[in-house]
Structure 1
Amino acid sequence: MIIAHRGLGEPENSMLSFKRAVKRGFGIEFDVWRTADGELVAMHDPEIAINGERYSVKELTFGELKALAVSREHIVKIEELFRKFPDALFNADIKDAEAVEELGELIRNYEIEKVIVSTTEIEMLKALRARDKKLKLAFSIVRRSDVPKVPLLKRRFRIFALHVPIDGIFYVGFANFRFLLKWIRGMGMKVGLWSYEVDELKYVPLLADLGDYFISNRPLDVKNLLTRLKGDF
């Protein structure tokens, strides 16, 4: 499975980019932030920059955020995504601790089954699991120091998946990286692979057998690559 990181094409995180992704059969990934009036929005950054000024998403109401945006279509409510694409696969990367309760409520209210809620923070995992015992939680590895904690986190929070940056190859070596992915799967977790800076097309063929899904900046290219790989066997 391929999940389109921030949607497919420009402008990213817009309803148009999410529509393109779903139409092509991809899942969609987005970061979750909470506005001052309690609306959850799909935005990558905690601030919006307009004419050299920066405004915190958390300090603006949804209406104020829309008014400041270059295009109103660029600001999308999570609720709109759940309502418009009820059968899509979602990766909601929650960045705002104050959004935990509302996100859980939206998932329950819209009866969204195919949603993975991911985070880079252990305290966020704790808060998410405390709120909902059924959520499919994913922990995103961004620090080497978090790797030894994975077995405990798996047991304590019943983690569904680990999101692993392909860039880790350059820290531990290719053979050790493949061993790490096998170790994760051996604990009963899914592996979601993503790329920070490396060329994902270079490494996807070498890791395709160990990735359960790919969170991709280039979903069309990755799809074509994986299709060709299947044809070679």
Structure 2
Amino acid sequence: MIIAHRGLGDPEDSMSSFRRAVKRGFGIEFDVWKTADEELITLHDPEITLDGNKYSVKELTFKELKALAPYGKYVTRVEDIFREFPNAVFNVDIKDSEAVEDLKELLLQYEIEKAVISTTKIKILRALRGHEENLKLAFSIISRSSVAVVPFLKRHLGIFALHVPIDGIFYVGIANFRLLVKWIKSMGIKIGFWSYEADELKYLPLVADLGDYFISNNPLEVRNLLAHCYQAYFQL
């Protein structure tokens, strides 16, 4: 499965980009923040910068954010995404710990079943788990030290997946990277590959056989690439 990071095409994180992704058969990834009037919205960063001025998501209402031209009009509510695409595959990345309970309610309200809820923060994983045993939780690796806590997260929080940046190849080498990923998979944890700065089209072929899904900035190109990779594997 390929998940389109922040949708497919510009403007990112907009309903139009999500529609394009779903129409092409991709899942969709988005980040979640909570506004001053308690709306959950999709935005990568905690603020919008316009003409040198910074506007905090948490200090503005949804209506005020929408009024920030030109980008503000594309800010999207999570509820609207779930309402329009109830059967889509989602990777929901929670950046705001205050959004946890409201997100749980929306997932139940719209009966969203194909969703992986990810975060880089263990405290958010704990809050998400709570009494919700059925949520598919994922921990996103952003540093080498994060790898050491994976057994703990599996044992105590029952994480479903680990989101692993292919950039790790640069730090430990391809052989060690593959060994680490196989070790993680041996615990029954799914692997979602993503890229921070690494060239997806260059490095994904080195690990494509180990990925359960791919969170991609270039979903169309990656789909074609993976099709060629899998064809080559089957011919071996």
Distance 1:231 1:147 in 2: 31
Q: Does 1:143 pair with 2:143?
A: yes
SS in 1 for 2:209: coil
Question: Match for residue 88 of structure 2?
Answer: 88
SS in 2 for 1:18: helix
Q: In the alignment, residue 106 of structure 1 is paired with which amino acid?
A: L
Is the 8 Å Cα contact of residues 67 and 73 (structure 2) preserved in structure 1? Answer: no
Is the 8 Å Cα contact of residues 118 and 137 (structure 1) preserved in structure 2? Answer: yes
| Residues 143-182 of structure 1 mapped to structure 2, 5 A cutoff | 143-182=143-182
Q: Does 1:40 pair with 2:40?
A: yes
Distance 1:63 1:227 in 2: 43
Distance 2:211 2:184 in 1: 11
Q: In the alignment, residue 205 of structure 1 is paired with which amino acid?
A: P
1:164 CA drift (Å):
0.4
Q: Deviations over 1:38-87 (max 9, x none)?
A: 10001001001122211100011111111114145411111111010111
TM-score, length of structure 2 as denominator length: 0.96
SS in 2 for 1:209: helix
Is the 8 Å Cα contact of residues 10 and 17 (structure 1) preserved in structure 2? Answer: yes
1:131 CA drift (Å):
5.1
Question: Match for residue 134 of structure 2?
Answer: 134
Is the 8 Å Cα contact of residues 27 and 91 (structure 2) preserved in structure 1? Answer: yes
SS in 2 for 1:191: strand
Structure 1 regions of 5+ residues with no counterpart? none
Question: Match for residue 27 of structure 1?
Answer: 27
Is the 8 Å Cα contact of residues 101 and 131 (structure 1) preserved in structure 2? Answer: no
Question: Match for residue 105 of structure 1?
Answer: 105
Count of residue pairs brought into register by the alignment: 233
| Residues 41-56 of structure 1 mapped to structure 2, 5 A cutoff | 41-56=41-56
Distance 2:71 2:146 in 1: 39
Distance 2:192 2:175 in 1: 18
Q: Does 1:63 pair with 2:79?
A: no
SS in 2 for 1:28: strand
Question: Match for residue 74 of structure 2?
Answer: 74
Distance 1:148 1:52 in 2: 40
Is the 8 Å Cα contact of residues 34 and 41 (structure 2) preserved in structure 1? Answer: yes
TM-score, length of structure 1 as denominator length: 0.97
Q: Deviations over 1:143-169 (max 9, x none)?
A: 211111110111110000000000011
Q: In the alignment, residue 215 of structure 2 is paired with which amino acid?
A: I
Q: In the alignment, residue 39 of structure 1 is paired with which amino acid?
A: E
Q: In the alignment, residue 208 of structure 1 is paired with which amino acid?
A: A
Greater CA deviation, 43-52 or 125-134?
A: 125-134
Distance 2:182 2:19 in 1: 34
Greater CA deviation, 46-55 or 126-135?
A: 126-135
Q: In the alignment, residue 188 of structure 1 is paired with which amino acid?
A: G
Distance 2:132 2:73 in 1: 31
Q: Percent identity?
A: 67
SS in 2 for 1:65: helix
**Runs of 4+ in structure 1 displaced over 4 angstroms?**
none
Is the 8 Å Cα contact of residues 104 and 131 (structure 1) preserved in structure 2? Answer: no
Is the 8 Å Cα contact of residues 36 and 59 (structure 1) preserved in structure 2? Answer: yes
Distance 1:9 1:43 in 2: 15
Structure 2 regions of 5+ residues with no counterpart? none
Is the 8 Å Cα contact of residues 140 and 162 (structure 1) preserved in structure 2? Answer: yes
Question: Match for residue 219 of structure 1?
Answer: 219
1:36 CA drift (Å):
0.7
Q: Tell me: CA distance 1:71–1:121, structure 2 relative to 1, closer, same or farther (3 Å).
A: closer
- Compute the RMSD of aligned alpha carbons: 1.1
Distance 1:199 1:71 in 2: 27
Q: Tell me: CA distance 1:198–1:27, structure 2 relative to 1, closer, same or farther (3 Å).
A: same
